[in-house]
Amino acid sequence: MFQHVIVRTPCQSLIEGITSANLGLPDLALAMSQHEQYIAALRQCGVALTILPPLDAYPDSVFVEDAALCTPHCVVVTRPGADSRRGEAALMEPVASRFYECVERIEAPGTLEGGDVMMVGRHYYIGLSGRTNAAGAEQLIAILQRYGLSGSAVPLTEFLHLKTGCSYLEDNVLLATGEFLSRPEFAAFDIIAVPPEQAYAANAIRVNDKVIMPAGFPVIRAEIERRGMTVLEVPMSEFEKLDGGVSCLSLRF
Ligand code: CIR
């Protein structure tokens, strides 16, 4: 069960966030409204929310997931691979430290962003992406092992982060698209295959008894519900314009 969630209010400089999408600039007012709806969905999941103030110096700082990894035993302060985002981790450390006695850090030359880390029980899959390098993954695996957890690296080429293209929804269910449909390490999961034109729906989060997913994907929603899960949809258009999905907007632990 998750007890806590940390989110950060979108900042005025949001439109300067990094993106590879060709969807236009985000509308700040609409992004604010969508963020509030995301928070409202989280409130339905029985967690205590910490809402951090906006950070104008970091346009992508609303995507808090990338700055830290919150495990059951320690928080790992990351070292983002994107230069413009590196300072976000140091600012997350004091916040996350309120909840943890044990604080670990990814150090140079390692880079790691939380969007590349997918927790499956006590095991953590770590995407080797444009943002997370082998040194970062190796450091994280060593940290996890010290706490009786485990990790393994998953190469990827098609997506920004591992969880851009796959999400573990508990109960052995994995949402997956693109290259993750054929990864041997995922073969034993009950895979909900997300077609390429709906790839944005491959990023969803299970928070206690609910699944939060982006609005507008009825077929994928039905597949999740068919497995007995309750789904909450949130509009995400303005964050999609910045390559961000529902997992990116929170730290859950
Ligand atoms: C970035 O490129 O860093 C942001 N515009 C999007 C980050 C998305 N975060 C995530 O997938 N965890």
Interval 56-67 mean pLDDT: 98
pLDDT of residue 199: 98
CATH number for the domain that contains residue 63: 3.75.10.10
pLDDT tens for each residue of 179-228: 999 999 999 999 999 999 999 999 999 999 999 999 999 999 999 999 99
Q: Which residues have any ligand 1 atom within 6 Å of their CB? A: 17-19, 60, 63, 65-66, 82, 85, 114-115, 160-161, 164, 242-245, 247-248
Give the contacts of 97 (CB within 8 A, at least 6 positions apart).
Answer: 75, 103
Q: Name which residue sits closest to atom 9 of ligand 1, judged by CA.
A: 248
* Helices (H), ranges, the chain: 28-43, 86-97, 134-146, 162-165, 218-226, 237-240
Domain, as residue range, for 72:
4-252
Tell me what the mean pLDDT of segment 157-182 comes to. 98
Average pLDDT over residues 21-32: 97
228-249 pLDDT, tens digit per residue, is 999 999 999 999 999 999 999 9
Please provide residue 8's backbone torsions phi and psi, each rounded to the nearest 5 degrees. Answer: -130, 135
Atom of ligand 1 nearest to the CA of 242: 5
Q: Whose CA is nearest to atom 2 of ligand 1?
A: 18
Cβ-count burial 80-107 (b if 16+ within 10 Å, e if not): bbeeebbebbebbeebbeeebeeebbbe
CA of 76 to the centre of ligand 1 (A): 18
pLDDT at 153: 98
What percentage of residues in the chain have a pLDDT greater than 70?
100
Considering Cα of 35, then 40, then 41, then 46, what sign does the dihedral take?
positive
* Helix (H) / strand (E) containing 19: none
- The token pair that represents 141 in the structure block: 């695996």
Calpha distance 236→37 (Å, rounded): 9
Q: Who's near 230: CB < 8 A, 6+ residues apart?
A: 209, 210, 211
What is the rounded average pLDDT for all residues in the chain? 98
pTM of the model: 0.97
Number of domains in the chain: 1
Cis peptide preceding 109, ω within 30 of 0: yes
DSSP state for residue 93 in the 8-state scheme: H
DSSP H or E segment with residue 51: strand 48-52
Residue that the structure tokens 């996890």 belong to: 144
pLDDT band at 171 (very low <50, low <70, confident <90, very high): very high
How confident is the model at residue 18, as a pLDDT? 98
Per-residue pLDDT tens over the stretch 83-122: 999 999 999 999 999 999 999 999 999 999 999 999 999 9
Contact 80, 67 (CB under 8 A): yes
Beta-bridged to residue 76, according to DSSP, are 69, 104
